[in-house]
């Protein structure tokens, strides 16, 4: 969660919220809160801040983008001192797989993403505006007074096209069918 005097960003896991919090969270008029490992619901944010939240928004992502983003995150992973041994072993195991094997064994098996998808996280956003990543970035620029031309706040989109495999993409979206319904209803 990240917030200002009259706004609150609700961070749903695997949507790009950590990147945005890292980008905007150190501004003097922005606060970031670690609540249950940085993710919380609108109700929890209201209780924690003990005030009206104002402009509340969150990010929603296509399940395929989440899967590709998770894969890329693990491929770029560098062991740090805060991760558990289990996390390091998990990352090493995933890094030894091909992308297709990762999707088939970790995603479609139901271990990483339960059938239906990530939707339990989306059900907890309350009345928050549901935005795409770029829309959330622009809203944060507006709310914080940051100009996107400032090199410190420039974003470079990641290249997901190289992972686009129709069979796997469709399989993930079908596996995450509740997410896809939720995304369609939110737009």
Q: Express each pLDDT in 75-86 by its tens digit.
A: 887 777 667 788
With a cut of 60, say whether residue 37 has pLDDT above it. Answer: no
More confident residue, 15 or 162: 15
Q: Which domain holds residue 157?
A: 2-186
Q: Residue 8 is inside which H or E element, if any?
A: strand 7-10
- Which spans in the chain are helix H? 17-24, 42-49, 63-75, 85-95, 99-102, 119-122, 133-144, 166-175, 177-186
More confident residue, 72 or 37: 72
Our measurement of the distance from residue 133's CA atom to the centroid of its chain's CA atoms, rounded to an integer in Å, reads 9
Confidence category of residue 93, pLDDT binned at 50, 70, 90 = confident
What are 141's two structure tokens?
């620029």
Q: Is 179 helix (H, G, I), strand (E, B) or coil?
A: helix
Contact assessment for residue 118 and residue 112, using Cβ atoms and an 8 Å cutoff: no
How many domains are there within the chain?
1
Q: Is 105 helix (H, G, I), strand (E, B) or coil?
A: helix
Tell me if the pTM is above 0.85: no
**Mean pLDDT across the chain:** 80
Percent of the chain having pLDDT more than 70?
83
Task: Give the other-Cβ count within 10 Å of 49's Cβ.
Answer: 15
Contact assessment for residue 140 and residue 59, using Cβ atoms and an 8 Å cutoff: no
């Amino acid at each position: 969660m990240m917030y200002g005097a009259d706004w609150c960003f609700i961070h749903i896991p695997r949507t790009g919220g950590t990147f945005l919090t890292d980008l905007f969270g150190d501004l003097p008029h922005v606060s970031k809160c670690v609540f249950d490992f940085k993710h919380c619901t609108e109700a929890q944010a209201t209780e924690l801040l003990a005030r009206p939240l104002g402009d509340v928004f969150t990010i929603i992502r296509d399940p395929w983008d989440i899967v590709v983003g998770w894969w890329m995150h693990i491929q770029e992973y560098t062991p740090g001192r805060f991760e558990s041994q289990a996390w390091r072993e998990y990352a090493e195991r995933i890094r030894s797989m091909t992308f297709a094997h990762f999707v088939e064994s970790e995603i479609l098996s139901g271990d990483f993403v339960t059938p239906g998808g990530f939707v339990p996280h989306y059900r907890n956003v309350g009345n928050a505006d549901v935005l795409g990543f770029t829309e959330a970035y622009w809203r944060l620029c507006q709310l914080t007074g940051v100009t996107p031309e400032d090199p410190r706040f420039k974003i470079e989109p990641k290249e997901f096209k190289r992972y686009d495999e129709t069979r796997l993409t469709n399989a993930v979206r079908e596996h995450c069918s509740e997410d896809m319904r939720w995304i369609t209803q939110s737009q």
